[in-house]
Structures are given as C-alpha cells and as structure tokens.
C-alpha cells in the first residue's frame, strides 16, 4: 500500500466531519440570537457556533481514532492550542476559520481540518459551506476542489501576480509587525491584492491557481495546516518569511507556485 492509499481513511473521516460541522455553521448563521464574544482582544471573536462545530469534529475524531492527538482552537477538549495527547498522529482543527466574516454575514468562512504525522501535515480538508467549496488534499493523492484536481498557477513574476494577505488581531500591540510596510512595498509591484479574512481559504485559492501567492504573519497551526497541504499537493511551495520550513509554528507563512515563491518572498523583505 502506498502512502496515499494509507491516508485515504483519514481523508474520508476529515471530509465527513468538516461537512457535518459546516452544516451546523449554516444553521447558526440564520439564528438571530447568535452573539459574538471577544477572546481577549476586542476584534478577535468567538461564537457558540465555533464551539459547537469543534465539539462535532473533536468528538468524531476521538471516536474514530482514539490513539491520535487533537490540537484545536477553541478549547473544547483541552486548553485552546494544546494537544490532547502525545502521538505520532495529530489532528489540527479550526472549526470556524473566518469568524469575523461569519459574524458579519459574509460567506468567506470555512472548517479546516488537518492531520500531521510526526509533525508534518499530510492531510488537509477545508470546507466552505456558504461558498459550496470543499478542498481536499493528502500526500501522494494530490489536491482537489469539489472532486476536481487542482494545481497552482504558472505565474512567474510579481508584476503579473494576484496576491492575498491578512492582518493579525494583535496588529496594534507594541513591538508587533502590523504587515502594513510589507503591503506598501508589494502592492505597487503586483497586479493586485486581496484580503478575504480566512487564511485557510486564501491558501486553498493559491493551491487552486486563483491566487498566485499569499503571505501573512502571527498565524497558529490550525490557521494554516490544512490549507498548506492543499498548496503543497497542488504543486506549490510553502515556507516562512525567511524561506525556511518553520511555517507551521513560526508565525509567518508565504505560499506560491515554485516559479513565484522566491521573488514574492524577496519582495516582502
């Protein structure tokens, strides 16, 4: 059995649970009583929908794979951002990436589920229920959008690139890079730039060739793990801002096709 075939059961489970959580999110979306709470910073929001979606995912993963660890954002199982157990296999879960979009009625939000083996993400599922898109990728299997194979773009120059980025919740705190200087440097050089408010979807759109490149700062593993697998399995390159491999835990990420990646990263310096 090759690696891709060995990962198929995990892909199937992740997609099933992502769709179940997505159905719940759509139900919450039409509830007038839905209230957003602050997670410390006023602009960083969480809702009951985030927590209920996480319960569906975490419960399903524990039932199917009791020996696996789970790292989830909202703290349903363990303290937020803390793995439930030590294991070679770790599920990395964001039950609602793009909560601000969700709260304001915008469709750009997603359920993001990744599986890492010995610290390396090998499965990624990103389900955007309001957009009708499901992105699935796994090592050895490739990357897919709604069942159709996808690949990164062939754009080789920043001048021809449609790029995406985002801005951290902690952007006005002392000593933090608010990304504004990088934006000011890159925007005049590229074709155009978008800010959609969901790191998982931004990465998927790089994988699907809709964006040519993407970068962002101060992201957590559950923000980027699944989308990064989509980029990699679609033929793209993912790194930190320095060009190294510490994009999962290092707090910065640059994703693009292989032809554009180095030029984009240098433009961001």
Q: Are residues 70 and 128 in the same domain?
A: yes
At residue 54, φ and ψ (nearest 5 deg) are -65, -35
Q: Is there a single domain that holds both residue 17 and residue 141?
A: yes
Asked if residue 139 and residue 184 are part of one domain, the reply reads: no
3-state secondary structure of 184: helix
Domains in the chain, number: 2
Residues 6+ apart with CB under 8 A from 127: 15, 18, 19, 21, 22, 110, 111, 133, 134, 135
Listed residues 149, 170, 200: the one ending a domain: 149
pTM: 0.93
pLDDT of residue 32: 55
Range of the domain at 125: 3-149
Say yes or no to pLDDT of 77 above 90. no
Picking from 149, 150, 97, the residue whose alpha carbon sits closest to that of residue 128 is 97
Which of 99, 122, 149 finishes a domain? 149
- List pLDDT tens digits, range 193-242: 999 999 999 999 999 999 999 999 999 999 999 999 999 999 999 999 99
């Amino acid at each position: 059995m090759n690696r891709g075939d060995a990962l198929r059961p995990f892909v199937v489970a992740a997609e099933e649970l992502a769709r179940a959580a997505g159905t719940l999110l759509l139900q919450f979306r039409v509830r007038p009583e839905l209230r957003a709470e602050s997670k410390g910073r006023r602009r960083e929001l969480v809702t009951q929908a985030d927590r209920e979606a996480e319960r569906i995912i975490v419960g399903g993963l524990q039932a199917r794979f009791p020996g696996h660890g789970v790292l989830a954002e909202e703290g349903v199982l363990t303290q937020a951002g803390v793995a439930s157990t030590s294991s070679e296999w770790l599920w990395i879960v964001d039950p609602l990436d793009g909560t601000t979009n969700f709260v304001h009625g915008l469709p750009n939000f997603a359920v993001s589920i990744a599986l890492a083996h010995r610290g390396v993400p090998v499965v990624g599922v990103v389900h955007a229920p309001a957009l009708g898109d499901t992105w699935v990728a796994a090592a050895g299997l490739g990357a897919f959008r709604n069942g159709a194979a996808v690949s990164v773009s062939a754009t080789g120059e920043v001048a021809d690139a449609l790029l995406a980025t985002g801005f951290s919740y902690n952007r006005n705190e002392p000593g933090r890079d608010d990304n504004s200087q990088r934006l000011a440097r890159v925007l005049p050089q590229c074709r155009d730039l978008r800010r959609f408010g969901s790191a998982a979807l931004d990465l998927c759109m790089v994988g699907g060739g809709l964006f040519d490149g993407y970068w962002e700062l101060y992201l957590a593993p559950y923000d980027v793990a699944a989308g990064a697998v989509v980029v990699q399995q679609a033929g793209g390159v993912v790194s930190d801002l320095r060009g190294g491999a510490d994009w999962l835990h290092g707090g910065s990420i640059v994703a693009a096709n292989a032809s554009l990646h180095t030029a984009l990263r240098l433009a961001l310096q």
